[in-house]
């Protein structure tokens, strides 16, 4: 038996009830933040596909703020798991789910599965956007190289069949 105050008995350690409630709340908040992050990634993808880069800085700022928020929520969840006497991370959440009353376990398991699915989707979609951005950067670099007269990786060949050098090339638009 633990004592909350010198006069009030409780069956749980001091931080345990609040920590257990906090874990469910933090998991729900994290799911909401992941949905917001996925919406930002979707907006970013639409801009990338359309070639509309004007909105990308604002979207990147929103994604960055959400990533910080997600990290904070995960840190707080791990702290609540620790206060409840459970380990952090996935193992701690799974121990928390297993320790839930039978009537609450399915809801906790469903929330955790939603969290995991959203986290995987957010990672994959964000990586795909990163590849799209890399492709756009490569196209831009190739266009700049062509405009500035820089040789391409493979080089070009002149009428005599010999490889052209950058010394013989002039930037477009020069006399």
More confident residue, 9 or 174: 174
Q: Identify whether 87 is part of a domain.
A: yes
Confidence bin at 175 (pLDDT 50/70/90): low
The more confident residue out of 149 and 24 is 24
> Does residue 170 fall inside a structural domain?
no
Provide the domain limits for residue 32: 10-153
Residue 159 lies in a domain: no
Provide the total of helices (H) and of strands (E) in the chain, helices listed first.
4, 2
Q: Pick 14 or 121 by higher pLDDT.
A: 121
SS3 call for 9: strand
* pLDDT the model gives residue 15: 41
Residue 158: inside a domain: no
Contact 96, 86 (CB under 8 A): yes
Model confidence over 33-75: pLDDT tens digits?
999 999 999 999 999 889 888 999 999 999 999 999 999 999 9
The CATH number that applies at residue 113 is 1.20.58.300
Domain membership flag for residue 165: no
pLDDT of 97 > 90? The answer is: yes
Residue 28: Cβ-neighbour burial (10 angstroms; 0-12, 13-18, 19+): middle
Asked whether residue 74 is domain-assigned, the answer is yes
Average pLDDT, the chain: 82
Residue 166 is assigned to a structural domain of this protein: no
Q: Residue 63: how many CA atoms within 13 Å on its side-chain side?
A: 20
Q: Tell me the DSSP string of 14-41.
A: TTHHHHHHHHHHHHHHHHHHHHHHHHHH
Establish if 68 belongs to a structural domain. yes
How many distinct structural domains can be found in the chain? 1
Burial class (CB in 10 A: 0-12, 13-18, 19+), 90: exposed
């Amino acid at each position: 038996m633990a004592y909350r105050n010198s006069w009030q008995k409780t069956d749980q350690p001091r931080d345990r009830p609040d920590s257990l409630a906090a874990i469910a709340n933090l998991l729900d908040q994290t799911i909401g933040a992941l949905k917001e992050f996925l919406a930002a990634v979707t907006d970013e993808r639409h801009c990338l596909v359309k070639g509309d880069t004007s909105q990308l800085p604002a979207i990147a700022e929103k994604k960055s703020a959400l990533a910080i928020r997600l990290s904070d929520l995960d840190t707080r969840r791990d702290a609540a798991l620790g206060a409840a006497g459970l380990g952090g991370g996935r193992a701690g959440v799974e121990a928390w789910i297993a320790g839930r009353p039978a009537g609450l376990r399915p809801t906790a398991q469903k929330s955790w599965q939603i969290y995991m699915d959203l986290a995987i989707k957010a990672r994959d979609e964000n990586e795909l956007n990163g590849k799209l951005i890399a492709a756009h950067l490569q196209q831009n670099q190739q266009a700049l190289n062509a405009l500035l007269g820089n040789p391409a990786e493979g080089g070009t060949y002149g009428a005599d069949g010999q490889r052209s050098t950058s010394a013989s090339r002039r930037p477009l638009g020069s006399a």
